[in-house]
Structure 1
Amino acid sequence: MGRPRRLEEQAGRFALVDGIPFQLPVSSHKSPALMAAFSIDADKAAALMPGNEMHPFRLWNRGLLVITVIDYIETNIGKYIEYSVAIACTHGKKPAPRLLPAIFMKTFGTGQYVVDLPVSTEISVKGGKGIWGMPKHQANLDFVIGDEWVSSQYDLDGLLAVRIDVERPKKAWLPLNVGAINYCAFRGMLMASYIYFKGKLGFKLMKKGSARLTIGDHPRVQALKTLDISPEPLFCGFLPETAGVLDDHFEAWFLSEKTPPARMEGLESVANLENKEEWLTPPNRKD
């Protein structure tokens, strides 16, 4: 997925959306990131997706849970951490064939359905949720880069929610310059946003013990425990530095169910938020 030319043409212009000032494009720089993917029960993953047009991406007979944490060092709205918990997916009338959506991504609307997206600051919640419909909320987050491991923990209300530990590769050597689609549910709609990022990746494939995922006791993440998450990663990686651009174009579709759906979180959850950049206290690490 290539970066649209119009983003280059808009560069240097200014926008003011919901009281948040932006210099276009909405971008980040010098930001380290970690990621890991674990196989999950695809049918159980489908039960977490709203509507009837989101389908789990199937790697043979299993789906994928994707954890991506970015320590945004420089952005249009200040420094913050973003902790994405998502299910690899396709978008369309019917479930896609196995494996093909990894190659024909545009044809199958391949992306990820974001289940949870805690961030460090209130302004990130206000912008990410209010504008792009991302399920952002403020939480206790950290991003720790060690000599042997890169780690990030997410706490909420004094409880562990999610922790991911990734074995640090000896070298980040693979150049990446890619785009991705994030699908999110908000205001009774399925919303798709587009991000483009680049950096050098060090990674490990199907190496036993190269990543550890811990799902804690907070009620917000208990649905993840129904997914039969494999204890061993299919993939994990670390990018010491990334640069990214969030498209100012997004799409939305009404979500429908066979029976009248329950009310979904809406604009009342962002209406009174402010442009605050303060972080909550770091999570309570046991090590």
Structure 2
Amino acid sequence: MIPQRLKQQTGLYALVDGIPFQLPVNSEQTPALMAVFPINADRAKELILAKEVHPLRLWNNQGLLVITVINYQITDIGKYIEFSIAIACTHGAKPAPPLLPGLLMQQYGTGQYVLDLPVSTEISVKGGKGIWGMPKHQANLDFVIGDRTVSSQYDLDGQLVMKIEVAKPAKAWFPLKMGAANYCAFRGMLMKSVIYFQGKLGFSLFKPGSAKLTIGDHPRIQSLKHLEISPEPIFTGFFPEITGMLDDHLESWFLGYDTPPTQQPEGLESVVNLGLGQEWLPAPKALPKDDQAEMYVVPIKN
């Protein structure tokens, strides 16, 4: 699964945009959670800037919202949390047929289009956005492993953006080893990067009440409320520990518009003056019991 080219980099060093790291770019001893919710695919397409990227459809007009939170423990740039909000997608001139992209991933360019990617540290923003074009920015994040649930909360500017909570599986038993493609919009281009990971997964499929998604009132995320997010997840999962490797090969294409764009997209000016800080912002504020944030998913059932 991992290209031999990456394995041969072991023992080498790199210095990119002032960020020193050892090759290959990897992580170890890292817990992660996932939750996948059905959404309206047509509305999801409105959030994707690239014409050649299409929401993956299960059947009819059902797409997928993918929430993934990774609590990186051992990396070349220190510890940090990464909170990914994405739409499952395919890449090509035309939309792919239903279901097949899950089986023929390379043929259909199956992956996820990342809408938002907050992280804990400045150095992660500088590297992830400046090198791979990921929409990273620093935010208040946590990752809490409890007896019955695993959760992560994302705050920004003193406001709740999102909180995801999944039922903790009794056992992580399923060995998973795969690569995943990320598509992102940055500098007026569509950027594609690939990460390879492996670990043992505990999961549930089509289990009512296995996750709880809370979306706050921060303007950064209000577009999600128009996706008709289903109240029940299709999939929830928890990795107690994964190892990962980020490919140093990336692809990019110009974003094409029907009319000349008038608004300058976010570019290198957003990363050129960033430093190498590994300090985290304060943890998110605990949600009060009478919180009025919009809740799309019923409380977790034990």
TM-score, scaled relative to structure 1 = 0.99
Q: Distance in 2 between matches of 1:285 and 1:234?
A: 27
Secondary structure of the residue aligned to 1:44 is helix
1:223-242 superposed matches below 5 A = 223-242=223-242
The amino acid that maps onto 1:246 is L
Q: Which runs of 5+ in 2 are unaligned?
A: 289-302
Deviations 1:133-183 (A, max 9, x none): 000000000000000000000000000001000000000000011000000
- The reply on whether 1:68 has 2:97 as its aligned counterpart is no
**1:51: Cα distance to partner?**
2.6
Structure 1 segment 61-210 matched on structure 2, within 5 A: 61=60, 62-210=62-210
2:172 is paired with a residue whose SS is: coil
Q: What residue is the counterpart of 1:268 in the other structure?
A: 269
Code of the aligned partner of 1:206: F
Q: Distance in 1 between matches of 2:93 and 2:101?
A: 14
SS in 2 for 1:170: coil
Other structure's SS at 1:34 match: strand
Show the counterpart of 2:50. 51
Following the alignment from structure 1 to structure 2, what is the Cα–Cα distance between the partners of residues 54 and 214? 27
State the Cα distance separating 1:285 from its structure 2 match.
1.2
1:22 Cα offset (Å): 1.1
Q: Could you tell me which amino acid in structure 2 is paired with residue 41 of structure 1?
A: N
Moved over 6 A (4+): none
Q: Which amino acid aligns with 1:13?
A: L
Identity across the alignment (%) = 69
SS at 1:115's partner residue?
A: strand
Q: Where do 1:12-27 residues align within 5 Å?
A: 12-27=11-26
Separation in 2, partners of 1:33, 1:219: 26
Q: How far apart, CA to CA, are the structure 2 residues paired with 1:12 and 1:105?
A: 31
Structure with the higher fraction of residues in strand conformation: 1
State the alpha-carbon separation in 2 of the partners of residues 128 and 16 from structure 1.
Answer: 14
User: Which residue does 2:244 correspond to in 1?
Assistant: 244
Distance 1:263 1:46 in 2: 21
- AA aligned opposite 2:119: V
Figure out how many residues of one structure are paired with residues of the other and give that number: 286
Measure how far apart 1:3 and its partner are: 1.2
Distance 1:67 1:286 in 2: 19
The amino acid across from 1:52 in the alignment is K
| 1:123 partner SS | helix
1:204-231, Cα deviation, whole Å (9 max, x unpaired):
1111100011111111001111100011
Residues 16-53 of structure 1 show CA distances to partners (whole Å, capped at 9, x for unaligned) of 00000010010100000000000000000000001310
RMSD over aligned CA atoms reads: 0.6
Q: Give the match's secondary structure for 2:269.
A: helix
Partner of 2:10: 11
* 1:11 to partner: Cα distance: 1.1
User: What does residue 219 of structure 2 align with?
Assistant: 219
Shift of 1:260: 1.1
